[in-house]
Amino acid sequence: MQQLASFLSGTWQSGRGRSRLIHHAISGEALWEVTSEGLDMAAARQFAIEKGAPALRAMTFIERAAMLKAVAKHLLSEKERFYALSAQTGATRADSWVDIEGGIGTLFTYASLGSRELPDDTLWPEDELIPLSKEGGFAARHVLTSKSGVAVHINAFNFPCWGMLEKLAPTWLGGMPAIIKPATATAQLTQAMVKSIVDSGLVPEGAISLICGSAGDLLDHLDSQDVVTFTGSAATGQMLRVQPNIVAKSIPFTMEADSLNCCVLGEDVTPDQPEFALFIREVVREMTTKAGQKCTAIRRIIVPQALVNAVSDALVARLQKVVVGDPAQEGVKMGALVNAEQRADVQEKVNILLAAGCEIRLGGQADLSAAGAFFPPTLLYCPQPDE
């Protein structure tokens, strides 16, 4: 089985030692081995700082914006390669569009912002000159410019393309290189996009690095000019936030973690109104897009007591029409979770809610022995939410 290589210090490298497997979300087939053991993280950081950082800092904001636009155009021309790999993660074509073309669209947006709003310089004056003496011989002005370190991006499994690109865009526009550590479960898609960027020759050497597997001791080698961004679970994020080196050197740490979004139906809405239909349609869309694996997915539905049954019946009727299966098959509207581990985790959480008093209105039970990581659309009713 082939190992998913990392791109560090300007070369593709394979780790040695214990590995994890990436499985096909639909068939369960083992696709890739993933490990970063034995790779020199300190050298990778130093390479990015010595090669990528000076090259990016030498570019003006306008030049960096042009680079973003060129990368976006290139990735868009290769999008079908990414769609093919995205199918391995259980995503439908519509799911993949959000991740792939949505991510590329983010590059275009930042490129446009940079070219319109930032100066053709490496410095960005923040305000006007401030006189500090009576005669005006002493004055000051605040300017913004690039940090001299590297940005470490630790990303989540649900958006392997968009999650990377939404962080890369401001990082490159700000003149910093990035070391990307994708979640292992969908790392093959991130790697394909990184390889496409590297092979294009559109970005300076050292501007982008990729770790497939664990970040190892990378955080131990960071300094105050570096930054860390994390997307994932709150538990993991809180653990990384208090990593001794990050705390000791006050390294900026940005975390986007667990979300619990809701959709609230107003008391004045009745089932015959268009607002009711819109409510149902939006909830179903958010429950089924990417099989619910979105930080913005609606996880709680809050409705007036008098409308509980009407909302429940309408949701069940619509969800029962959602065809779950292999996205390669015509008519399938909802794919699988990314792997069996996620399926088991969802089942565990559903069981906890049932034990706490929730009632099943639809779904609620997956076939944990099946090869594909499918979990049916699930609607639970909580009769006593205050408890």
Q: What is the 3-state secondary structure (H, E, C) of the chain?
A: CCECCEEECCEEECCCCCCEEEECCCCCCEEEEECCCCCCHHHHHHHHHHHHHHHHHHCCHHHHHHHHHHHHHHHHHCHHHHHHHHHHHCCCHHHHHHHHHHHHHHHHHHHHHHHHHCCCCCCEECCCCEECCCCCCCEECCEECCCCCCEEEECCCCCCCHHHHHHHHHHHHCCCCEEEECCHHHHHHHHHHHHHHHHHCCCCCCCEEECCCCCCCHHHHCCCCCEEEEECCHHHHHHHHCCHHHHHCCCCEEEECCCCEEEECCCCCCCCCHHHHHHHHHHHHHHHHHHHCCCCCEEEEECCHHHHHHHHHHHHHHHCCCCECCCCCCCCCECCCCCHHHHHHHHHHHHHHHHCCCEEEECCCCCCCCCCCCCCCCEEECCCCCC
Find the range with the poorest average confidence among 64-78, 80-94, 121-135, 357-371. Answer: 121-135
Q: What is the arithmetic mean of pLDDT over 271-297?
A: 96
Q: Which residue has the tokens 């030049």?
A: 63
Show Cβ contacts of residue 268 under 8 Å, excluding neighbours closer than 6 positions. none
Active-site residue (options: 78, 256, 263, 358): 256
Active-site residue (options: 101, 263, 295, 358): 295
Residue 257 structure tokens: 């973690």
- φ, ψ (nearest 5 deg) of residue 36: -120, 10
pLDDT at 236 over 90: yes
C-alpha 346/C-alpha 304 separation (Å) is 27
C-alpha 234/C-alpha 349 separation (Å) is 16
pLDDT at 338 over 80: yes
Q: Tens digits of per-residue pLDDT, 37-96? A: 999 999 999 999 999 999 999 999 999 999 999 999 999 999 999 999 999 999 999 999
Q: What is the arithmetic mean of pLDDT over 299-307?
A: 96
Q: Tens digits of per-residue pLDDT, 166-221? A: 999 999 999 999 999 999 999 999 999 999 999 999 999 999 999 999 999 999 99
Among residues of the chain, what percentage have pLDDT more than 70?
100
pTM of this structure: 0.93
Reply yes or no on whether 295 is catalytic: yes
323: left (phi over 0), alpha (psi -120 to 50) or beta: beta
pLDDT at 136 over 90: no
Q: How confident is the model at residue 102 (pLDDT cuts 50, 70, 90)?
A: very high
Nearest to 370 by CA among 339, 346, 345, 349: 339
Q: How confident is the model at residue 14 (pLDDT cuts 50, 70, 90)?
A: very high
pLDDT at residue 75, as a whole number: 99
pLDDT at residue 260, as a whole number: 84
Domains identified in the chain and CATH numbers:
6-126+145-255 (3.40.605.10), 261-381 (3.40.309.10)
pLDDT at residue 385, as a whole number: 86
pLDDT at 124 over 80: yes
Mean confidence (pLDDT) of the chain = 96
Residue 67 structure tokens: 């680079």
Q: How confident is the model at residue 227 (pLDDT cuts 50, 70, 90)?
A: very high
C-alpha 111/C-alpha 113 separation (Å) is 6
Q: How confident is the model at residue 235 (pLDDT cuts 50, 70, 90)?
A: very high
C-alpha 143/C-alpha 166 separation (Å) is 25
Residue 78 structure tokens: 């290769």
